[in-house]
């Protein structure tokens, strides 16, 4: 299980221990902790633990014990963010090899002098000694993702001309010195080094330079080379849903070959968008790595390994690559969890205990989108007898729409895994059935998760338009030119689907970003998305929006803001932009301008005195997202 900063490292030690112990019980072979700062100046923010501080020892002693009692092993990640650090909370300025401004931290760091470099190397050694003293089974040196050691290795951020920079060999000197110091501090304990296999930043290290660094680190005492991809500043998506599964394993394969050619026998670890054990098996069988590291899949389902080994892979709750409850939060101060598994980080609040409710308790859940699926699962898990009503043909709600978008097939896979889990829990799932208030009489509690309907807009000619639900359903048959009124996340997704086509595979992404040789297929349609106010994709997560908007623009989607709509005409949408009237020509006009709650059932239940809870979009569409929907579903199902 790869390293993830959780923003829970300074919280309740027992809760952090429960989080990691559950993943150990779920089959993780080795857990790498979230980055633990070797000094305050290297901390990624106020939520980071600093290894030398006393509260760190108390917290991590509890965690290590819990993981060991669960039969697992855990290594401490030694972290220094360099110019990406956010030490303002401690009144400090970031340090780095050179004073190169960082857009990520919005700071220009101080260039380390020889004394500072020696002190930083000593910090790594001391931190590793503390970690092993606390009982960790090993340490991992973070030299990837554009952090301090990576900054020394890169010509983009290391502008020095001294013993620590000036050419490729001298740029390697700092990561090598840190590795040697840690190796000598921890004796025979395992030392992993996570390097950046490809920085994906213009002008940065070449593949040959990266390979040489890997060999030098092995010589310096690394026991394994863990391969990360990309910096926080790179403009190539690496962790978003649009990135094909296992897209970067050719990089770990190249490094593995380079190490073998140099006679270094250290194992190579592959990571990034490897989402299932079946994919991991393919990476290993193909000789692309010796070990596979997954991080977010363990948030989505802590039991991914154990369940897959037990032949129950179809019940594994897959990570959908949304980043909304994990990476996006890790950049702020909010505790990390998981959209599709809101228990993540809350294991003590929602324990995996035996059923707490008598089987006779009858719960109805109406609507099987994210909130309803999770409510039904949580209620059945707690021991209730659950009936789940869904008006559509299958469970999944908005996840079924998203599942059609290129790169988002995991959304549909997620709905399928819920179907299997609900089946195992004995939930009576009635699809194609619109529940009425009359038939809900007799249930002890009803969870209303009836979701949303597309918001209507008042505009001359609006009867000529279709709503976004129809557009998704008929995406293969829409005309050559499509204009979308609305430019939030749904409109961006729809535009992506329309230009790529419903049968798009991973090829275009791989070709476009140089990961495969081939000709780029032409966009399938001419699409315009537009909105009155706000930015294109506003409301999407911070790590997703830029990549999704960049992606559709590259595919020729026209994006307009500050639009005043005049009318929908037979040949398109008449608009005014910057005082100029224009006809946006279109064969089909789609309305994707928000949603309104579908909540009539709640009123009918109230008038009959039937106990109920309203969750998800049916409760409120303001700020609605899947994170809130799943969490509300969990709380309602658990409490019902």
First to last CA, the chain: 34
Q: Is 299 in the site for ligand SF4 (CB under 6 A)?
A: yes
Residue in this structure with the two tokens 């920085």, named with its chain if needed: 199
* Dist. CA 385–CA 26, nearest whole Å: 27
Q: Is 319 in the site for ligand SF4 (CB under 6 A)?
A: yes
- Among 5, 171, 194, 296, which residue interacts with ligand SF4 (rule: CB under 6 A)? 296
Q: Is 403 in the site for ligand SF4 (CB under 6 A)?
A: no
**Binding segment for ligand SF4 among 130-138, 220-228, 336-344, 570-578 (CB under 6 A)?**
336-344
Residue number with CB closer to ligand SF4 (34 or 486): 34
Q: Is 326 in the site for ligand SF4 (CB under 6 A)?
A: yes
* Dist. CA 608–CA 165, nearest whole Å: 76
Please, where are the H alpha helices in 262-318? 277-285, 296-300, 304-309
Q: Is 1 in the site for ligand SF4 (CB under 6 A)?
A: no
- Among 243, 340, 382, 490, which residue interacts with ligand SF4 (rule: CB under 6 A)? 340
Q: Is 343 in the site for ligand SF4 (CB under 6 A)?
A: no
Residue number with CB closer to ligand SF4 (399 or 472): 399
Q: What's CA 312's distance to the chain center, in Å? A: 23
Q: Is 485 in the site for ligand SF4 (CB under 6 A)?
A: no
Beta carbons of 410 and 463 less than 8 angstroms apart:
no
Provide the pairing of β-strand 595-597 with 452-454. Answer: antiparallel
Residue number with CB closer to ligand SF4 (213 or 338): 338
Q: Considering CB under 6 A, how many residues would be counted as binding ligand SF4?
A: 14
Task: In angstroms, give the least distance from the CB of 299 to ligand SF4.
Answer: 4
- Among 72, 165, 321, 451, which residue interacts with ligand SF4 (rule: CB under 6 A)? 321
Residue number with CB closer to ligand SF4 (404 or 599): 404
| Catalytic (active-site) positions | 147
Task: In angstroms, give the least distance from the CB of 624 to ligand SF4.
Answer: 16
Q: Is 417 in the site for ligand SF4 (CB under 6 A)?
A: no
Task: In angstroms, give the least distance from the CB of 351 to ligand SF4.
Answer: 20
The β-bridge partners of 481 are 526
- Among 134, 148, 300, 429, which residue interacts with ligand SF4 (rule: CB under 6 A)? 300
Residues sharing a CB contact under 8 Å with residue 289, sequence separation 6 or more, in sequence order: 227, 249, 252, 253, 256, 268, 269, 270, 283
Q: What's CA 324's distance to the chain center, in Å? A: 6
Q: Is 628 in the site for ligand SF4 (CB under 6 A)?
A: no
Q: Is 339 in the site for ligand SF4 (CB under 6 A)?
A: yes
Task: In angstroms, give the least distance from the CB of 122 to ligand SF4.
Answer: 36
Q: Is 415 in the site for ligand SF4 (CB under 6 A)?
A: no
| Footprint on residues 164-183 left by ligand SF4 (CB under 6 A) | none
Task: In angstroms, give the least distance from the CB of 402 to ligand SF4.
Answer: 12
Task: Please state, in angstroms and as integers, the Cα–Cα distance from residue 27 to each residue in 135, 300, 345, 349, following that order.
Answer: 20, 14, 17, 22
**Binding segment for ligand SF4 among 45-53, 188-196, 294-302, 505-513 (CB under 6 A)?**
294-302
Residue 533 CB burial class (10 angstroms; 0-12, 13-18, ≥19):
exposed
Residue number with CB closer to ligand SF4 (36 or 319): 319
Residue number with CB closer to ligand SF4 (326 or 568): 326
**Binding segment for ligand SF4 among 320-328, 421-429, 487-495, 586-594 (CB under 6 A)?**
320-328
The 8-class DSSP code of residue 289 comes to -
Q: Is 322 in the site for ligand SF4 (CB under 6 A)?
A: yes
Task: In angstroms, give the least distance from the CB of 336 to ligand SF4.
Answer: 8
Residue number with CB closer to ligand SF4 (266 or 322): 322
Beta carbons of 411 and 317 less than 8 angstroms apart:
no
Residue number with CB closer to ligand SF4 (96 or 326): 326
Beta carbons of 294 and 272 less than 8 angstroms apart:
no
Strand stretches in 119-277, DSSP E: 138-143, 191-198, 224-229, 268-270
Q: Is 245 in the site for ligand SF4 (CB under 6 A)?
A: no
**Binding segment for ligand SF4 among 155-163, 333-341, 449-457, 616-624 (CB under 6 A)?**
333-341
- Among 121, 189, 210, 338, which residue interacts with ligand SF4 (rule: CB under 6 A)? 338
**Apex 268 CA angle, 264 and 270, nearest 5:** 160
Q: Is 272 in the site for ligand SF4 (CB under 6 A)?
A: no
Q: Is 8 in the site for ligand SF4 (CB under 6 A)?
A: no
* Dist. CA 598–CA 620, nearest whole Å: 9
Task: Please state, in angstroms and as integers, the Cα–Cα distance from residue 465 to each residue in 272, 408, 446, 459, 489, following that order.
Answer: 41, 26, 36, 10, 19
Q: Is 177 left (phi over 0), alpha (psi -120 to 50) or beta?
A: alpha
Q: Would you report the helix, strand and coil content of the chain in percent, each value rounded to 5?
A: 40, 20, 45
Residue number with CB closer to ligand SF4 (2 or 44): 2
Residue in this structure with the two tokens 């619109």, named with its chain if needed: 434
Q: Is 243 in the site for ligand SF4 (CB under 6 A)?
A: no
| Footprint on residues 527-566 left by ligand SF4 (CB under 6 A) | none
Beta carbons of 487 and 530 less than 8 angstroms apart:
yes
Q: Is 330 in the site for ligand SF4 (CB under 6 A)?
A: no
Residue number with CB closer to ligand SF4 (134 or 629): 629
| Phi (first) and psi of residue 577, to 5 degrees | -130, 125
The β-bridge partners of 107 are 102
- Among 21, 117, 304, 325, which residue interacts with ligand SF4 (rule: CB under 6 A)? 325
Task: In angstroms, give the least distance from the CB of 241 to ligand SF4.
Answer: 8
Q: Is 320 in the site for ligand SF4 (CB under 6 A)?
A: yes
- Picking from 177, 94, 170, the residue whose alpha carbon sits closest to that of residue 141 is 177
Residue number with CB closer to ligand SF4 (411 or 468): 411
Query: What angle separates helix 207-219 from helix 173-186, to the nearest 10 degrees?
Result: 30
Q: Which residues bind ligand SF4 (CB under 6 A)?
A: 296, 299-300, 319-326, 338-340
């Amino acid at each position: 299980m790869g390293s993830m900063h959780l923003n829970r490292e300074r919280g309740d030690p027992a809760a952090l221990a429960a989080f990691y112990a559950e993943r150990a019980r779920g089959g993780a072979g080795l857990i790498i902790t979230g980055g633990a700062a070797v000094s305050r100046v290297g901390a990624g923010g106020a939520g980071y633990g600093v290894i030398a501080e006393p509260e760190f020892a108390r917290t991590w002693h509890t965690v290590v014990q819990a993981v060991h009692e669960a039969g697992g092993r855990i290594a401490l990640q030694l972290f220094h963010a360099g110019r990406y650090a956010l030490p303002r909370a401690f009144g400090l300025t970031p340090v780095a090899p050179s004073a190169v401004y960082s857009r990520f931290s919005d700071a220009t760091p101080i260039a380390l002098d020889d004394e500072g470099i020696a002190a930083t190397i000593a910090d790594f050694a001391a931190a590793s000694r503390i970690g092993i003293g606390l009982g960790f089974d090993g340490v991992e040196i973070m030299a990837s993702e554009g952090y301090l050691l990576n900054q020394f290795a890169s010509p983009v951020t290391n502008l020095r001309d001294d013993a620590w920079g000036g050419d490729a060999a001298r740029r390697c000197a700092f990561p090598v010195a840190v590795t040697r110091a840690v190796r000598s501090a921890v004796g025979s304990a395992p030392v992993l080094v996570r390097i950046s296999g490809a920085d994906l930043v213009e002008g940065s290290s070449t593949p040959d330079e990266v390979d040489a660094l890997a060999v030098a680190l092995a010589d310096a005492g690394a026991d394994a080379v863990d391969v990360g991809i990309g910096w926080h500043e790179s403009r190539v998506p690496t962790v978003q849903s649009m990135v094909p599964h296992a897209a970067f394993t050719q990089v770990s394969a190249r490094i593995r070959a380079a190490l073998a050619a140099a006679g270094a026998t250290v194992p190579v670890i592959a990571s990034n968008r490897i989402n299932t054990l079946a994919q991991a098996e393919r990476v290993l069988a193909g000789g692309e790595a010796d070990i596979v590291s997954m991080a977010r899949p363990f948030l989505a389902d802590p039991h991914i390994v154990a369940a897959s080994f037990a032949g129950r892979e179809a019940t594994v709750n897959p990570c959908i690559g949304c980043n909304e409850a994990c990476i996006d939060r890790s950049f702020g101060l909010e505790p990390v969890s998981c959209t599709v598994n809101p228990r993540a980080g809350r294991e003590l609040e929602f324990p995996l205990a035996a059923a707490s409710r008598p089987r006779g308790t009858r719960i109805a859940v109406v609507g099987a989108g994210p909130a309803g699926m999770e409510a039904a699962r949580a209620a059945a898990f707690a021991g209730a007898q659950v009936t789940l009503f869904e008006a559509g043909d299958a469970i999944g709600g908005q996840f079924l729409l998203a599942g059609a978008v290129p790169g988002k097939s995991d959304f549909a896979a997620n709905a399928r895994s819920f179907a299997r889990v609900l089946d195992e829990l004995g939930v009576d799932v009635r699809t194609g059935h619109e529940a009425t208030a009359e038939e809900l009489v007799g249930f002890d509690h009803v969870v209303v998760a009836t979701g949303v309907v597309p918001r209507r807009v008042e505009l001359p000619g609006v009867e000529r338009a279709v709503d976004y639900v129809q557009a998704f359903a008929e995406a293969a048959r829409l005309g050559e030119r499509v204009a979308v009124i609305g430019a939030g996340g749904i409109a961006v997704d729809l535009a992506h689907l329309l230009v790529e086509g419903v049968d798009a595979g991973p090829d275009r992404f791989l070709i476009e970003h140089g990961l495969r040789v081939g000709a780029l297929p032409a966009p399938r349609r001419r699409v315009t998305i537009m909105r009155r106010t706000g930015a294109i994709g506003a409301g999407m997560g911070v790590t997703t929006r830029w990549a999704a908007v960049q992606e559709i623009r590259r595919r020729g989607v026209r994006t307009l803001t500050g639009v005043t709509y005049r009318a929908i005409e037979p040949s398109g949408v008449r608009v005014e932009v910057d005082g100029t009237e224009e006809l946006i020509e279109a064969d089909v006009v789609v309305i994707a301008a928000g949603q309104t709650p579908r909540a009539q059932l709640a009123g009918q239940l109230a008038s009959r005195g039937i106990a109920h809870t309203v969750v998800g979009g049916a409760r409120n569409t303001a700020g609605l997202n899947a994170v809130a929907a799943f969490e509300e579903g969990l709380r309602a199902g658990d409490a019902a």
